Chain A
């Protein structure tokens, strides 16, 4: 999963100091599949200007669109007006952008949906994020990945920080049920007594808490009948016998080395440009990580495939995409898939089910390619509900702990904790 530089997670990692335990690597180029080869998506306006394959008029139109999409005000105004239109139709009607260039702009939205299901509101929001993320942490790149295995690493580090702060972890036990006890049941009935939640763990142990938080997997929520509405994505992981260096050209002067590349197969492109939406496959995304990510041995690379499952489903679509990618490259001998696996992920529609007071349910995260801001926003609102009665500590702002770095009186002030 990639994290745009503008993501609300990154400042929270900095203010909470946990970033010191993490390493982030730059996402390099976005590539788009066309017939049998990949074309690098221009990464700056300059590149667009210099691109010989786009004629002058088309260039002007694209630039006009990019200007709007990068502007904080104009893109919102456009969403207001055209948000519910399909994005390709919007590009056509407002900017006269050709179908071929629409496909490129669609790739930047990272949308898992068919073009006609990609709404202008989402598309503009995502392209705005893409454009304004570039250059935030160094020249030329707009997104990062956590080293050593993705976002799980962030969770690890957060758990460690929690443990250092005195948090107690109970592993391998779930919550069986929760029950809010009313004050009246207690003898010493004092006015301020907060209602406590009785929690029964799966091993029978009972604990009490002022608040409980978790996702629908953690908390005993009423299961609705959701079988039909579940959205599914197919995912794959493939380890490749070559580092595929040609996918990782330097990003820009003074930029870190790229550790990831985003390969986009537009809808239908794997069927030689199928155009009937009814039978077209959804966009396929392959995220290629270098060995520098710590996820595979040196001399190899690892590919994460992702596509929304359409009906009829195409179980072999992802492995087909990987083979097309390998065929398109010049590396000799042709790179091989050493190992691979595939799975499907289900996403229940968001529940509006009411949970009892002080039991907080996090929304399920859509299994997408990009970490969305609403994940942390959700956490923040829970944080604020729980800390309401206290002194309202600012969200995710922590001091360095006592004793930390205490041996560094000679510190030269460099911040390069790696």
Chain B
């Protein structure tokens, strides 16, 4: 295994566990697919159990590797969720802007996370399917919801506006609970990258599991140096116990 601790020092890279939660069919898997493969599937099949994906994101000073658990929203899988949000450093709670019940469900997830997940977990509330709302399709909808644009405000019943949850409603709830907030479209790609970048930025560096290249100042070299100082690498060993190491 080649160790990258050489002259052209790479940016430090850390991994972040992220879990997606939300009602069935709100577009969790679609958001991940957009983020990881920059693709969209019109008729995505429901997730069974859960799916696991990883994706790297480059920040100015470091690289973040997301380890993403995309859970199944169908009710019959709900009891599995704690398995996935355990030890997660971040969560993306997704609702569908065109479906009021999905926001109620999202609030339940937020409450459960606040009660049971790791303290300090970074939660982003995401209203998805922005492309189905008024003014979507064009660049107009690309306004990050974080900015003070009042895009899509109001209950305008204009052509093709399926929006049922106003930006204001989502945002004020997010503010109350201290969540990041975005409105996205997995279909058009609007705001998807932004959600993940915001999460990466919101996680304090100390919470990250850094692979400290070259840590420990020249100790040992080889595979150990590429690891965190305390993790054991199950695949990097010699595969043979060294003779001479007695009890």
Contact = CB atoms under 8 A, between A and B. Distances in A.
Contacts of A411: 56
B179 interface: no
Contact of B230 (A139, A259, A413): A259
Contact of A254 (B10, B53, B69, B224): B224
A23 B231 contact: yes
Given A108-B247, A406-B36, 11 more contacts: A135-B241, A135-B242, A136-B239, A136-B241, A148-B87, A160-B50, A164-B51, A171-B79, A256-B230, A294-B87, A418-B227
11 contacts: A25-B230, A26-B230, A42-B246, A46-B244, A70-B246, A127-B247, A171-B79, A171-B80, A257-B230, A407-B56, A413-B1
B246 A66 contact: yes
Interface size band for B? 35 or more
The 10 A-B residue pairs with the shortest CB-CB distance in the complex, in nearest-first order: A254-B220, A163-B49, A45-B246, A135-B242, A407-B36, A407-B55, A137-B237, A134-B245, A257-B230, A24-B232
Main secondary structure, interface of A, reads: loop
B100 interface: no
Interface in B26-47: 35-37
A404 interface: yes
A114 to B, nearest CB: 21
B15 interface: yes
Interface string B93-122: 000000000000000000000000000000
Nearest to B51: A164
A261 B120 CA distance: 29
A24 B231 contact: yes
Nearest to B211: A416
Contacts of B37: 406-407
Interface string A1-44: 00001100010011000010101111000000000000001111
Contacts of A43: 245, 247
B236 interface: yes
Interface in A130-183: 130-141, 144, 147-148, 156, 159-160, 162-169, 171-172
B52 A164 contact: yes
B247 A414 contact: no
Interface size band for A? 35 or more
A138 B232 contact: yes
B232 A137 contact: yes
A168 B79 CA distance: 12
A416 B226 contact: yes
A414 B238 contact: no
B86 to A, nearest CB: 7
Interface of B: 1-2, 4, 10, 15, 35-37, 48-56, 65, 67, 69, 77, 79-80, 83-84, 86-87, 209, 211, 216, 219-222, 224, 226-242, 244-247
B36 A19 contact: no
A160 B230 contact: no
A418 B246 contact: no
A42 B244 CA distance: 13
A406 B51 CA distance: 13
A407 B239 contact: no
Contact of A167 (B49, B227, B246, B247): B49
Contacts of A135: 238, 240-242, 245
A79 interface: no
Interface string A64-89: 00100010000000000000000000
Given A137-B233, A137-B237, A292-B230, A418 B15 contact: yes
Nearest to B15: A418
A417 B234 CA distance: 11
Given A130-B247, A134-B241, A160-B83, A418 B232 contact: no
B141 to A, nearest CB: 25
A418 B16 CA distance: 9
Contacts of A204: none
A404 B53 contact: yes
A133 B241 contact: yes
A48 interface: yes
A125 B69 CA distance: 41
A403 to B, nearest CB: 6
